[in-house]
Chain A
Amino acid sequence: MSTTEVKVLGSTGSPFVMRAVIALNIKSVDYELLEQNLVVKSELLLKSNPIYKKIPVLIHADKPICESLVIVQYIDEVWTCGPSILPSDPYDRAIARFWAAYLDDKWFPSVRVIVLTAEGDEVKKETLQQVATGLELLEDAFPKCNKDGNFFGGERIGYLDIALGCFLPCLRVIEKVHNLKLLDEAKTPNLCKWAESFCSDAAVKDVIPETDKLIEFAKVLIAKIKARPSN
């Protein structure tokens, strides 16, 4: 077991930081979360992630690892004594990686647009449809992945659970602020049940931000964006 220091440069509102932290919790790794100011970025952040200047950054034995999904895989590969995060079968791993990439590349941008839409402002139909489509796809994928367990990873939380689960707080914000139903017992029963299991898992329950806090955080971001001079 490594006793080398593990730090996470992060911020409690960020779904991507949640991924890193959940992975560390699964492996029972002690770490220090260094809250970052995203307006005035620290020297450590700029030095550790000079290309993107973004969180999360995992710093292990003074080496920085960037990009949340890269970090999760790194954690899985370094701390092999804990439960595995990625499935063991290469095909199952490919499926998990495929969906995680889909979430980040195709789905989350639409989620983000709605999270950053102020209460009362119009939520575009197409954007909402993109979010709904993604959830439908994951709803269908669930029984193909879960092998009778409660999670995409089977009996335990795995890579795809982490990749999707970190966005549950965002979905709750959207549902509350815009009075919408994204996870629906009728349309996405698998995901509803899965969400409950995910949020109550030991590795997750203490790191999920409260919806109201996240709503406040989103309001601040929305105000900042609106205050920007338009070109």
Chain B
Amino acid sequence: MAEEVKLFRNWSSPFALRIVWALKLKGIEYETILEDLQNKSSLLLQYNPVHKKVPVLLHNGKPILESLVILEYIEETWKQHPLLPEDPFEKATARFWARFNDEELLPSIRDASTKQGKEQEEAIVQVEENLKYVEEKLKGNVFFGGETIGYLDLAFGWLANLVSVLEEVTGLSLTASGKFPLLSAWMQNFSDAPVIKECWPPRDKLIIKYQAMIEKYTAVAAPK
């Protein structure tokens, strides 16, 4: 049976990018269905009724949802170019850190970028603490996956693209300060990898998008 692989995504979602990278690293052919998140297709809503979000991977008509779940599905279905370590402890460690990214690091950077006053200061402190953990994790490795890009690099990958965009839009210095040399080096190495580079959303479009997003948050939070 011919494999049918489709990916519902939009032009910029960092979560969807994880899946694009994984499919490309494994050399899997797929069709992209680009969604306008302001006007979601009925197919997307049918395949992801609970969250109504991208990415959705459709494999032979069956939908798989949630980017980290999709990554594990891809890993288990297509065995070439493994993304996760074989050792159960190393695997557990990678899964732990991927969740840390989604539940702690990403929200803290979002808060630092969108909040004001004291809340922003607290968020910035939290970001530094979180980045210190990530810096420590990189010791002795070029990539989180070791010598080559793996699952955890894909999970953290959004940093390599979006941190500098957010720094430009907000004027904050998250990693630009040079405080996290290993992380900064990783961001460069990750971005330079051909499979990764060719998928970056256009920077100028990202600047506009995040500028608008931050202005919206700032307007909502404006003192009465």
Residues of A within 8 A of B (CB): 51, 60, 63, 65-67, 70-71, 73-74, 77-78, 90-91, 93-94, 97-98, 101-102, 137
Contacts and interface: CB of A to CB of B under 8 A. Distances in A.
Interface string B9-33: 0000000000000000000000000
A137 B50 contact: yes
A68 B175 CA distance: 31
B160 interface: no
Contact of B95 (A63, A70, A102): A70
A77 B99 CA distance: 19
Contacts of A90: 73, 76-77
A94 B88 contact: no
Nearest to A89: B76
Contact of B89 (A65, A101, A137): A65
Contacts of B205: none
Secondary structure of the B contact surface, majority rule: helix
B64 to A, nearest CB: 5
Given A51-B133, A74-B88, A90-B73, A98 B66 contact: yes
A73 B95 contact: yes
Given A51-B133, A77-B88, A67 B96 contact: yes
Given A51-B100, A74-B88, 7 more contacts: A73-B91, A73-B92, A74-B92, A78-B88, A90-B73, A93-B72, A97-B66
Given A70-B99, A91-B73, A93-B73, A102 B50 contact: yes
A70 B76 CA distance: 17
Contacts of A70: 92, 95-96, 99
B73 A94 contact: yes
A65 B62 contact: no
Nearest to B91: A77
13 contacts: A67-B99, A70-B96, A73-B91, A73-B95, A74-B88, A77-B91, A90-B77, A91-B62, A91-B73, A94-B69, A94-B73, A97-B69, A98-B66
B180 to A, nearest CB: 17
B13 to A, nearest CB: 17
B70 interface: yes
A86 to B, nearest CB: 10
Contact of A94 (B70, B91, B96, B133): B70
Contacts of A97: 66, 69, 72
B65 interface: yes
B110 to A, nearest CB: 16
